[in-house]
Amino acid sequence: MPVRIQENDFDISAEITALRKGDPRVGAVVTFLGAVRDMNDGSKVKGMTLEHYPGMTEKALEDIISQAKTRWDIYHALVIHRVGPLLPEDQIVFVAVTSAHRGEAFAACEFMMDYLKTAAPFWKKEDTPEGARWVDSRVTDDAAMARWLKKS
Amino acid sequence: MKLELRFFASLREALGVSEESVTLPVAVKTIADLRAHLIERGQPWSEVLATGKVLRCALNHQMVDASTLLEDGAEVAFFPPVTGG
């Protein structure tokens, strides 16, 4: 399964092993791991809850993978995103891409994360000392995505 | 036309609704028309969906813009800009 939405934690070493197992064409694996920080917009973050849109989320992530496979010469791609309650230091998101050489995998992995940040229906609600608050989207995320649109 | 509406995150909380079935007047043809139609309900809709608010919309699980035509039986979702990753 190239796309997984789950409450449970994941083991990135096991995921990387499984992703390239049995495929000796793979010469490069590039991964991104996102984690919960204890600080955001000047407030201490005690924890957060991630909400998503079941049904659309899976389609959006599958679309991200298929676009990456169209644009770059990659073999396998995996996206894992956690939902539900999370604490600082917890793993949130994992993207892994395999290819023959590193260049294609680096580009595809960065594209997938930038795309996910603007197009996959997840929302974070932070628990801070001032109370719970929904995280605002960042202009920098839109700018990161826009770079890929210009290049195509 | 009948639609299944879905609301997420801060919109869901502010409206106090996560899903709803609606039957629309024939004049409501696009996403923008639907938003205007819901605003006419008054508070809290008029404030939460107000024209100045930056919202995202999906039609049958695909992100769409305001000019997109609605389809009978479709699932239409309104939500704030996404913040995953």
- Whether A149 shows a pLDDT value over 90: the answer reads no
Q: How far apart are the first and last CA of chain A?
A: 28
CA A95 to CA B45: how far, in whole Å?
37
- pLDDT at site A139: 84
Domain span holding position A91: 3-151
Residues near B72 by beta carbon (within 8 Å), at least 6 away in sequence: B1, B2, B3
Tell me which of A50, A111, A137 to substitute to probe the interface with B (most B C-beta atoms closer than 10 Å): A137
Minimum-distance CB partner of B9 among A34, A60, A134: A134
CB contact under 8 A, B84 and A135: no
How many structural domains comprise chain A? Answer: 1
Digit-coded pLDDT (tens) for A44-94:
999 999 999 999 999 999 999 999 999 999 999 999 999 999 999 999 999
B80: chain A residues, CB-CB within 8 Å: 123, 134, 137
**In this complex, which of A55, A59, A117 lies closest to B84 when CB atoms are compared?**
A117
Angle between helices A139-151 and A102-119 (to 10 degrees): 130
Mean pLDDT by 10 residues, chain B (85 residues): 98 98 98 98 97 94 96 98 96
pLDDT of residue A106 exceeding 70: yes
**Would an 8 Å CB–CB cutoff place B6 in contact with chain A?**
yes
Structure pTM?
A: 0.94
Distance from CA of B62 to the nearest CA of A (A): 7
CATH code of A75's domain: 3.90.1170.40
For residue A64, the tally of other CB atoms under 10 A from its CB is 24
Exposed e or buried b for every residue in B34-46, given b needs 16+ CB within 10 A? bbebbeeeeeebe
Whose tokens are 């298929």? That residue is A66
Whether residue A1 has pLDDT greater than 70: no
* Chain B residues 49-68 with a CB less than 8 Å from chain A: 58, 61-63
Domain borders along chain B are 2-79
Architecture of domain B2-79: Roll (3.10)
φ and ψ at residue B24, rounded to 5 degrees:
-105, 150
Q: Which of A51, A93, A134 sits opposite B85 (nearest CB)?
A: A93
pLDDT of amino acid A151: 60
What pLDDT was estimated at residue A150? Answer: 73
For residue A37, the tally of other CB atoms under 10 A from its CB is: 12
CB of A34 within 8 Å of any CB in chain B? Answer: yes
Q: What DSSP string runs through B10-25?
A: HHHHHHT-SEEEEE--
- pLDDT tens sequence across B26-46: 999 999 999 999 999 999 999
Residue A118 clears pLDDT 70, i.e. is over it: yes
Q: Which of A51, A61, A81, A133 to mutate to test the interface with B (most CBs of B within 10 A)?
A: A51
Q: Judge residue B80's burial from the number of C-beta atoms within 10 Å of its C-beta, 0-12 exposed, 13-18 middle, 19 or more buried.
A: buried
The reported pLDDT for the residue numbered A51 is 98
Confidence at A137, pLDDT banded by 50, 70, 90: confident
